[in-house]
């Protein structure tokens, strides 16, 4: 079965490759907005399904990734940071990144990743959650991270695999790789259940 990753995220590609999976990447252009009543885990689940819906096997947008009558499974995912009752998406600029990291400083927050697996016949979705605790960060430490690592492309304005994860994370409950953007263990089991591996 052909495995297709509906993402251009270098972190998701690295994680899927680290699982020993052979896959093809496609870039899916989907509306990532969500109904305002959605909370926490429901948000990335909704967006991962929206990304799957935006994929059309074999068309030009998908780069002709799937040949006619070929068995495939499409993986789409979305990750959010949830802190103090609000979703922290990708920051709009450095000041917004500072606001987010100041909110995370000295607190425990949740990272949710929604994953949707789509085949020609079925679709299944799941969410994984990781609790991440940061020690209290100084303003200088926050600005050092922002200016040296430019985390504007990351939900919650940070990458756990970067400097801030080494020096600020005091506790992590759940999957480390989920915080990077893909709950690898749960994904591996789900792919095996679909006979994709």
Contact 19, 182 (CB under 8 A): no
Q: Round to whole Å and give the CA distance between 180 and 89.
A: 14
Q: Round to whole Å and give the CA distance between 191 and 38.
A: 27
If phi > 0 it is left, if psi is from -120 to 50 it is alpha, else beta; for residue 150 that is left
Q: Round to whole Å and give the CA distance between 8 and 27.
A: 6
> Is residue 93 annotated as a catalytic residue, yes or no?
no
Q: Round to whole Å and give the CA distance between 189 and 197.
A: 9
Catalytic site residue from 42, 78, 93, 121: 78
Here the tokens at position 140 are: 């200088």
Contact 97, 88 (CB under 8 A): no
Instruction: Catalogue the active-site residues.
Output: 78
């Amino acid at each position: 079965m052909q495995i297709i990753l509906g993402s251009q995220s270098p972190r998701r590609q690295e994680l899927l490759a680290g699982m020993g999976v052979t896959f093809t990447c496609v870039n899916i252009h989907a509306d990532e907005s969500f109904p305002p009543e959605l909370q926490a885990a429901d948000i990335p689940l909704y967006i991962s399904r929206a990304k799957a819906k935006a994929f059309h096997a074999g068309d030009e947008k998908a780069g002709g990734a799937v040949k006619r009558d070929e068995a495939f499974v499409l993986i789409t995912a979305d990750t959010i940071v949830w802190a103090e009752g609000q979703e922290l998406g990708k920051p709009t600029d450095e000041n917004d990144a500072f606001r987010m990291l100041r909110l995370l400083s000295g607190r425990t927050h949740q990272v949710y990743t929604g994953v949707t697996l789509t085949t020609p016949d079925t679709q299944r979705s799941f969410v994984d959650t990781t609790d991440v605790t940061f020690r209290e960060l100084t303003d200088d430490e926050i600005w050092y991270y922002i200016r040296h690592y430019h985390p504007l492309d990351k939900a919650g304005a940070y990458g756990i695999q970067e400097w801030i994860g080494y020096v600020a994370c005091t506790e992590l409950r759940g999957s480390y790789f989920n915080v990077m953007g893909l709950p690898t263990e749960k994904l591996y089991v789900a792919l095996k259940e679909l006979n994709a591996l």
